[in-house]
Chain A
Amino acid sequence: MTVSVSPETFTLVSYDAAEIASIIDDLVAAIGLPSELDVRLEVDESTPLGRASVASIDPLVITVESGALEDPKRPRNLSRTGSADVLGRLMFRVRDRLDPAFGEPPDDDKLTLPQSVAWDAYCVGRLVRLGFTHYDNRQRRLYHFRNRHGFSDAADDAFERLWTADGLSWSDITALSEGAVGTSAA
């Protein structure tokens, strides 16, 4: 496995490519991605916004805007826990996609917003249990989930199952999401 970070030297933000690579190394090992998978991270340091996405699965190419890795309390500096949170969520998605037993989810840009938020809850729940914590991630993901599914006990129950689960398939996730959508009082 090789890990590369682009650019190798940052000029607009104070990031260290080697430190970012070490975060990726830790995540790859903990999440259980295939050892032969090459990983490339492309950082757009010209924008402080925070979008992050998977551009390719094999080799794994992740593109991020520099704000996605930034410590909001120390502008232009790297947040190690925040970076692990952003990258770990995407890498768990990749692990799921590479697992034949998981099923075949649509491409990321074809996911509905409730599906995407439900899958994120499942990914980040596992990430937190591996020790990659970043502020109150559970409540943050619950808030996202409620907004897309409903502010209701039924939605909270579905979230809890996603957050604490391991070994779910894509159809499990969509069933939990569909069962919770629209359960809030009008």
Chain B
Amino acid sequence: MDPESAESFDRARRQMHGIFVGEIQALEGAGRTAFDYTTDETPLQMKLDMARQCWDEARHVEISLRLGEHMGTEIGEFSEAVTLFEAACHADPVFRLAGVNRALEGLAIDVFTTMRDFAGEMNDPVLYFCEDWMLADEVTHVKMGSDWLRRLTEKDPERRERALEFQRVVDKLFSLGGFRGEDDDSPIRLARRFRELAGFDESEMDDLAEISREAKADADRMREKLIVEATA
């Protein structure tokens, strides 16, 4: 978000509403993953990590709600999507770790870093403090996903690869036509340093940047096609 743009504050408001809705779905998703499996399928320690994540997400919902009030946004002012929740409904817990903890919580790292930096540039102490606080939690959630994905698939590389492919699909969905990337005009920037702390390696982040560029190219092509069809 460019602070010199006249539209940046309304973009930030819309973004904050999206975060609020996403936190509700992340709470539901982590709760289901804590509940849905036997301890043969997911170790008790992983269930405890998911329960801890629920605690964090519930707090994030409340923080996001208050930030919305701070920014002049009402609940329901903007549309909401349920893609995050859908990713949390996969039958295989390993896919949930890849799709939710790594792809979507990873996106949260990018979003919170962007929002925090924006608040820093605008000297908004409320938004900066809250985003920085939530960012620390998100790094933990992604790290939990990276660690448990590795442990649960230690003896099943094929399952791990399929889960990582699912993660790439979710990453592309949430790159939303170039919404997240490393180009100057990307509204959300890839937060490489925090992702590294959360267990992403350099090649994964390079892949993600490429996925985002592809998503932007796809969106541009779709827009051109729609205009041609409408004016034909």
Contacts and interface: CB of A to CB of B under 8 A. Distances in A.
Interface of A: 11-12, 46, 50-51, 72-75, 113, 116, 135-144, 146-147, 150-151, 184-186
Given A143-B9, A143-B13, A73 B123 contact: no
Given A11-B230, A50-B7, A72-B77, A151 B71 contact: no
Given A51-B7, A137-B72, A140-B13, A73 B124 contact: no
A184 B125 CA distance: 9
Contacts of A51: 7
Interface in B26-46: none
B74 A136 contact: yes
Interface string B119-137: 0001111100000000000
Contacts of B223: 46
B78 A73 contact: yes
A113 B6 contact: yes
Nearest to A47: B223
B123 A184 contact: yes
A151 B120 CA distance: 12
Nearest to B125: A151
Ranked nearest first, the 3 interchain pairs of A and B with the lowest CB-CB distance are A140-B72, A139-B72, A72-B78
Contacts, number: 64
A142 B13 CA distance: 13
Interface string B65-80: 0000111111011110
Counting contact residues on chain B (CB < 8 A from A), the size range is 20 to 34
B14 interface: yes
A72 B79 contact: yes
Given A72-B14, A147-B124, A142 B227 contact: no
A140 B7 contact: no
Contacts of B124: 146-147, 151
Contacts of B70: 139, 143
Contacts of A150: 123
Interface centre among A138, A139, A143 (most CB of B within 10 A): A143
Given A75-B79, A144-B9, A147-B9, 7 more contacts: A51-B7, A73-B79, A135-B74, A135-B77, A142-B72, A143-B9, A151-B123
B82 interface: no
B167 to A, nearest CB: 28
Nearest to A113: B6
A46 B223 CA distance: 8
Nearest to A12: B230
